[in-house]
Structure 1
């Protein structure tokens, strides 16, 4: 009798603990960029800025628009140096070069 109660209890617990897991619809993106190539899927508005957030480091940012033309090329050398990127069109590419980390802030 005890074995039967134990098995029933285990089965009930297993059914209660089964949870449907659904993957997230959107992939969260970080606003801190290290060396690499990043493809922008959405248009960024005029208030977008880039800032060097690593001390004693160097970084360059290159933004190529969807037509293949260079939109911005900037070398960062000073810690917390900030520039206004402006409007970045949809399907643009951001290239970060160097050992520094850049924070790209998207303002509404």
Structure 2
């Protein structure tokens, strides 16, 4: 396993989870993610990407929610867990992400190639 894959796995295990409002997808807009993470997701056509962007949505957002929820990128996992990306409805985990880990993740974003999902 590459060092970047190990780092992604490390971050994913440490980002807290919480219950969202059923049916809410307010945080499922266009986002960027590392090229390493997008390579692990199912391939979407250019038309699917364009349609999602036109709706200010994510190409992996389906009628019943995220198609790749268990494998969703770090940025998607962060929504609602850090003061940088608060849930617009006030949902959050009991404890927000550790500030040091949040900084490490931000440094990871800056150090890796990010692409539009």
Shorter chain as denominator, the TM-score bin is: under 0.3
TM-score (norm 1): 0.23
More strand by percentage: 1
> Looking at CA atoms only, which structure, 1 or 2, has the larger radius of gyration?
1
TM-score (norm 2): 0.22
